[in-house]
Homo-oligomer: A and B are copies of this chain.
Amino acid sequence: MQTHLDCVPCFIRQALEAIRTASDDPALHESLLRTLCKEISTMDLSTPPPVMVRTIHRHVKRMTGLADPYAELKERFNQHALELLPSLREEVAVADDPFELAVRLAVAGNSIDFGTRHDISEELLGRVLTKARTAEFLGSIPRLRQAIEDADSILYLADNTGEIVLDHLLLDQLPLDRVTFAVRGAPIINDATMADAKRTGIAQRVRTIDSGADLPGTLLEESNPQFQAAFRHADLIISKGQGNFETLNTDPSGKIFFLLMIKCGVVARDLNAPVGTFVAMPQSELRNRTMKVHEADCLSRK
């Protein structure tokens, strides 16, 4: 997915929120804003949005000297989700369809995204979890079940801290001997890294690798050889979140299943569904859908 002009106001909002999280110094806030605006004036719009998001957060780290400005928030939401996990597990165990409920709750976890908004709270997560239990999903949860049954090797691309704890619920439903779980190669926003996978018990139950990159998404050419091999070897890739969607939606493999919440207007337009929609969509359906949206766009312009 290319960067849309409408991503730019969002880049700037996110940069301000990030630098304010990392520092109280107004001079740094202004300096980041000016640096970023200058870069946007010549940026390559053909790259997906997470590339500029990475640039923003690299600036924040450089300017503040903090390697992981979101460390406290990350631990807060890992801890909170770990507290929720036992009762959610019990709920899934006695559900009419444990797989479906596990998917719903794991996708609700994708709401813990400090890139798209800064006011995420435990209360918000609670409301999203409640909504996800009964909400209509864009795509098809049964098709994910089928894809998992058909797969010999599954790569699970994680997104955020806190969210990965809810990924336990979906991992409970998977043949773990055939699953590789992948996290980011370095801290970026509140995305999950190897430290989070260990902290939350993921790495202790499933083969866990990292991408080798500090990108809040997945670009194969920037990933390390181990990640590239896992990506190529897998016959099903379960991709969590908007950042992975924005970087992989046009991937030629055709073997990706996207699980995410729509959290911005640009992705909403791409998927032709409102912000807040829960998505469980195989890449094949995505292509048909996007093609239809573009056709409708072309027709409406005539």
Contact = CB atoms under 8 A, between A and B. Distances in A.
A interface residue count range (under 10 / 10 to 19 / 20 to 34 / 35 or more): 20 to 34
A269 B33 CA distance: 20
Contact of A34 (B16, B29, B42, B301): B42
Interface of A: 5-6, 8-10, 12-13, 16, 24, 29-30, 33-35, 37-38, 40-42, 45, 301
B5 A9 contact: no
Given A12-B8, A16-B6, A34 B30 contact: no
Contacts of A30: 5, 45
A81 to B, nearest CB: 30
Contacts of A10: 9
A9 to B, nearest CB: 4
A6 B13 CA distance: 7
Closest 8 CB pairs of A and B: A38-B41, A37-B41, A9-B9, A37-B37, A37-B40, A9-B12, A9-B13, A34-B41
The A interface is mostly helix, strand or loop, or mixed, namely: helix
A30 B8 CA distance: 11
A17 to B, nearest CB: 10
13 contacts: A5-B30, A5-B33, A6-B16, A8-B12, A9-B9, A9-B10, A9-B12, A9-B13, A12-B12, A34-B40, A35-B41, A37-B37, A37-B41
A254 B247 CA distance: 55
Nearest to A301: B24
A89 B92 CA distance: 62
Contacts of A5: 16, 29-30, 33
A35 B29 CA distance: 21
